[in-house]
Amino acid sequence: MNKDNTVKCAGGFIVQVMPFIEDEVLNKLEANIQKIQSVTSMLDNGHTPEQMLEQVLEELDLEITDTMPAQFYCNCSKKRIEKAIISIGKKEIQEMIDEGKEIEVKCHFCNTAYKYTVDELKELLKQAR
């Protein structure tokens, strides 16, 4: 964490072994994992995911066949939230309209808040089944 309580770096890994793994391979894997630094420390020290994987799978014939960028993002949008509101049905939308107040819907993934006025809810009501 940074001093302002924002995330400086975060990461982790999962190792899933195949059925019928040889004990020797499993023992080596467990020994490698026990001797590595924490993922946070490795990231903080500038290790790439490939370098971390090399440490986890040291002496186990690692072959990297592909890589892809990883990032935290959310594909929510006001349009997507509108579809969710429409899907709850006319009765519930009408109840929100009858309350006469703006509503706020928060994305549970990224915590973005989307606000809808009564007039916007009326437009959504027309699209609901």
Taking the whole predicted model, whether its pTM rises above 0.75 is answered as no
Please give the Cα distance from 54 to 56 (Å, whole number): 6
Predicted confidence at residue 8, as pLDDT, reads: 84
* 49-103 pLDDT per residue, tens: 999 999 999 999 889 999 888 777 899 999 999 999 999 999 999 999 999 999 9
Please give the Cα distance from 97 to 125 (Å, whole number): 9
Predicted confidence at residue 2, as pLDDT, reads: 86
Statement: residue 3 has pLDDT above 80:
yes
Statement: residue 113 has pLDDT above 90:
yes
Which are the contacts of 98, defined by CB distance < 8 A and separation ≥ 6?
none
Using pLDDT thresholds of 50, 70 and 90, give the confidence band for residue 6: confident
Predicted confidence at residue 27, as pLDDT, reads: 96
As a whole number of angstroms, the longest Cα–Cα distance in the chain is 68
All structural domains of the chain: 1-66 (no CATH), 78-127 (3.90.1280.10)
* 8-28 pLDDT per residue, tens: 888 888 999 999 999 999 999
* 31-42 pLDDT per residue, tens: 999 999 999 899
DSSP collapsed to 3 states, the chain: CCCCCCCCCCCCCCCCCCCCCCHHHHHHHHHHHHHCCCHHHHHHCCCCHHHHHHHHCCCCCCCCCCCCCCCCCCCCCHHHHHHHHHHCCHHHHHHHHHHCCCEEEECCCCCCEEEECHHHHHHHHHHCC
Which are the contacts of 114, defined by CB distance < 8 A and separation ≥ 6?
78, 81, 104, 105, 106, 107
Predicted confidence at residue 78, as pLDDT, reads: 95
Predicted confidence at residue 35, as pLDDT, reads: 95
For residue 67, which amino acid is it? Answer: T
Predicted confidence at residue 12, as pLDDT, reads: 87
